[in-house]
Amino acid sequence: MERETRLVQGNQAIAEGAIYAGAGFYAGYPITPSSEIAEECSKLLPKAGGVYLQMEDEIASIAAIVGASLAGAKSFTATSGPGFTLMQENLGLAVMGEVPCVVIDVQRSGPSTGLATKPAQSDVMQVRWGRHGDQSIIALSPATVEECFTLTVKAFNFAEKYRVPVILAADEIVAHMRENLSYPAPGELEIVTRKQPAGPPAEYKPFLPEDDGIAPLAAYGGEYVFHVTSSMHGYDGYSNNNPANAEWRVAQLHRKIERYRDEIVMVKNFDTEDMDILLIAFGATTRAARAAALKAREKGIKAGVLQLLTIWPFPDKEIAALGQKIKTVIVPEMNYSGQVAGEVQRVLGPNIEIRRVNRYNGTIITPQDILKAITQD
């Protein structure tokens, strides 16, 4: 199958991946370093029959995509840093309402305004726990321009299939780099569309799971008029404060992701068959980790790389399996506290040495930085 190949930016690939996935609605507010996504969508979405709206702020943006999704559109927004913080409350509404939508968070240096144009990978824990309450979410992290495209498609597929918001946690480096992208032909990548109710509208229960654990989602309006609330609710969508119902509802938010965990969690392995040291990386630091591992092998040190494409749910089983082969793990990440390294330590326990390579000054982690941690020079 012949493909078109073009030199494109990561943010551009995200926008084009969304349209490939069938996105029909974008609402957003420009913010560095995600603004090119909005710019591309303003040009491409109307041509594809979709709707582009520039909102007054990020709070309105996330509210708009929740409403558009409930009306039947595949919807998404893009933001960074302070904008992602502003979206948390309505993102919680989307979790509670099981509303499929995609939020692109192009991570930048912080806190607050911080270094607004510089890279970071410091939103990992905010992505998972930014909303209050007991809930779960899916988050993906691209390391290449091609992955910006393909993981955006995956994000929409997961959102539609499991009725959950999905976050694409890119970083400034990946979002702004340019690489050749060989575009998949129409139909080459799987495209998932949300399951529709089969029964009559009068009997529709918007939160009643079927045998697959997922409730169908009708498009609001016309024949289907139903209730979605941020309060604890039952199968019918109306508030229900009964303890048994609350227990079921909270468990359902986790259960539907846990059930399909092995389909959602994606990793890539590089030279992990015969390694002595494992590097665990995600996003832009993946490239530095792979380069460092190759240099280490030239020095006679067998290093392998595990790239995390899915960061939530955390790839604990995959990490634990590789942890049986080695005694040392190195985790490079552009944040101060080692947000992924802490999760790796939780999975592997105290008997595995975790060496952290952290950078939080707005500059990239280099292969040399990681090689020093490998050789301990």
- Residue 343 pLDDT: 98
State percent of the chain over pLDDT 90. 98
* Residue written as token pair 């802490």: 342
Which of 284, 295, 270, 274 lies closest to 374 in space, CA to CA?
295
- Residue 78, strand partner residues: 104
- 228-251 CB burial, b ≥16 within 10 A, e <16: beeebbbbebeebeeeeeeebbbe
Angle between helices 339-348 and 316-323 (to 10 degrees): 60
Report yes or no on whether pTM surpasses 0.75.
yes
Work out the pLDDT band at 162, boundaries 50, 70, 90.
very high
Q: What tens digit of pLDDT does each residue of 362-371 get?
A: 999 999 999 9
State residue 328's pLDDT score. Answer: 96
CATH of domain 1-264: 3.40.50.970
Average pLDDT over residues 282-300: 97
From the CB of residue 225, how many other CB atoms can be counted at a distance below 10 Å? 10
DSSP single-letter state for residue 269:
E
Residue 377 scores a pLDDT above 70: no
Beta pairing partners, 139: 167, 312
| Neighbouring C-alpha atoms within 13 Å toward the C-beta of 246 | 9
Per residue in 125-150, pLDDT (tens digit) is 999 999 999 999 999 999 999 999 99
Is the pLDDT at 3 greater than 90? The verdict is no
Is 90 exceeded by the pLDDT of residue 48?
A: yes
Residue 74 tokens, joined: 């595949």
- The answer to whether domain 1-264 and domain 270-375 are alike in fold is yes
- What lies within 8 Å, CB to CB, of 321 at 6+ separation is none
Domain ranges within the chain, ordered by starting residue: 1-264, 270-375
C-alpha span between 48 and 153 (Å, rounded): 16
Q: Of 39, 95, 13, 17, whose CA–CA distance to 62 is shortest?
A: 95
Handedness of CA 122, 127, 130, 133 (dihedral sign): negative
Task: Note the CATH architecture for domain 270-375.
Answer: 3-Layer(aba) Sandwich (3.40)
**Torsion 127-131-132-136 (CA) sign:** negative
CB atoms within 10 A of CB 286: 26
- Region 37-57: mean pLDDT is 97
Q: Give strand ranges (E) for the chain.
A: 4-9, 25-28, 51-54, 75-79, 101-107, 138-140, 165-171, 178-183, 267-270, 277-281, 303-308, 310-312, 328-333, 353-358
Instruction: Report whether 212 contacts 39 (CB < 8 A).
Output: no
How confident is the prediction for the chain on average, in pLDDT? Answer: 97
Is a pLDDT exceeding 90 seen at residue 336? yes
Q: Which pLDDT belongs to residue 1?
A: 61
Name all contacts of 61-64 with Cβ < 8 Å and 24+ positions apart: 61/27, 61/28, 61/29, 61/87, 62/86, 62/87, 62/90, 62/91, 62/94, 62/103, 63/90, 64/25, 64/27
pLDDT digits (tens, 9 = 90+) for 260-280: 999 999 999 999 999 999 999
Q: Rounded to an integer, what distance in angstroms lies between the CA atom of residue 233 and that of residue 221?
A: 20
Which pLDDT score, from 0 to 100, does residue 346 have?
Answer: 97
Q: Quick check: 288 and 340 in contact, CB under 8 A?
A: no
Alpha-carbon gap, residue 294 to 274, rounded angstroms: 13
Round to whole Å and give the CA distance between 348 and 374.
18
pLDDT tens profile 190-244: 999 999 999 899 999 999 999 999 999 999 998 999 999 999 999 999 999 999 9
